[in-house]
Amino acid sequence: MKHALRRFLPLVVLLIAGGALATPFLKDVIWPPATDGIAWRTDYQAALAEAKATGKPLLLDFSASWCPPCKQMKQNAWPTPAVRDLANGGFIPVQLDVDRDDVRGVAQNFRVDSIPRIVVLSADGATILANAQYLTPEGLAAFLKKQSR
């Protein structure tokens, strides 16, 4: 029995190491990204123009792919029906990845020093109406309901 274990030990080690190395590449297969049903925009300037045309406030979600609390919100808070309906109905929702070069200036403008950061901005882009950090699904729904017209 001992001899058989020694024979297969390199194979077992290889399988475990291979699985550990493959996990980052398979993360979207094992843990698919959430589809929250929110009509996110990713271009701040285009979203600002849309907000000015519609009169709806901007809902800015500053996050990053490596941020665990951001991932939690993307998986648990944003997909809830109440949050989805409020975000789509009362705002121009904009998801901004702070690691993108074109977003860094926007993040600095709003003094985003930690993520996730949620900023509600007036339709003309001139006034911050509210901001928050990590929120539970219930907290996010209450936050959005308070800010919606």
Residues acting as catalytic residues: 67, 70
From the list 63, 64, 61, the residue with the least C-alpha distance to 41 is: 61
Q: Which of 54, 57, 63, 56 is nearest to 129 (CA)?
A: 57
Residues paired with 42 in a beta bridge: none
Strands 128-132 and 117-121: antiparallel
Q: Could you tell me where the DSSP H helices lie in 73-115? A: 81-90, 101-109
